[in-house]
Amino acid sequence: MKIFNTRLPTLSDIQQAQLTAQRQADDYLLLDFDTRQHSRFRAVTVSGEAVGIDLPRTGVLKGDDVLTNAAGELMQVIAKPQAVTKVTAADDFLLMKGAYHLGNRHVPLMFEHSAARYALYFENDHVLAQMLENLGLHTESASVPFEPETGAYQTGHGHSHSHSHAHTHSHNDAHSHDDSHSQHNASIGHSNDG
């Protein structure tokens, strides 16, 4: 099994051409966000070949990251569309309020800005969706490649912060929310890779 252990920050024209040929042959990885958080895992290319990923613990793999191995072979990572919750609001202030409450719970968020409006995306969690609806935001199911924001102190593929413990937040809206029920929402970056 081929083991890919290095990220390529830049690509030559020859490498770009090689990746184009590999994509046409389905020789690439289509991975969801949960898988891309790990630095060590086994995966299967779209064409069915098993490969290993063994990277330093340096952050989440992004869609379009390119990996290489000792033999100089390349493997491109594509973010797989997955079921998420899309959040929109009647005005920007309300959406900002929703982002605050999700951020307070350490939920990985992806932001979208289109000509029509702004939107937030997070991995499905019916408790969080209900909280947002109670605040007056609109939630709906979507399927998109999920690429949440990295931390503000991260640059590129730098160190990532993770919470692996459960904790409870109390809020003014007279309920408590236990983050341990959705551990996948709280773990970004480092994980127990095995």
pLDDT for residue 60: 83
Q: What fold does the segment set 2-79 form as a domain? A: HSP40/DNAj peptide-binding domain (2.60.260)
Please write the tens of the pLDDT for every residue from 47-84: 999 999 999 887 789 999 999 999 999 999 999 999 99
**Nearest CA-CA partner of 180 in 162, 167, 171, 191:** 167
pLDDT for residue 152: 52
Which pTM does this prediction carry? 0.70
Please write the tens of the pLDDT for every residue from 117-161: 899 999 999 999 999 999 999 999 999 999 998 765 454 443 333
CATH class of the region 80-149: alpha beta
Q: How many CB atoms lie within 10 A of CB 129?
A: 17
| Class of residue 132 by CB neighbours under 10 A (exposed 0-12, middle 13-18, buried 19+) | buried
- Domain-wise residue ranges, the chain: 2-79, 80-149
Q: 23 Cβ partners below 8 Å, 6+ apart? A: 76
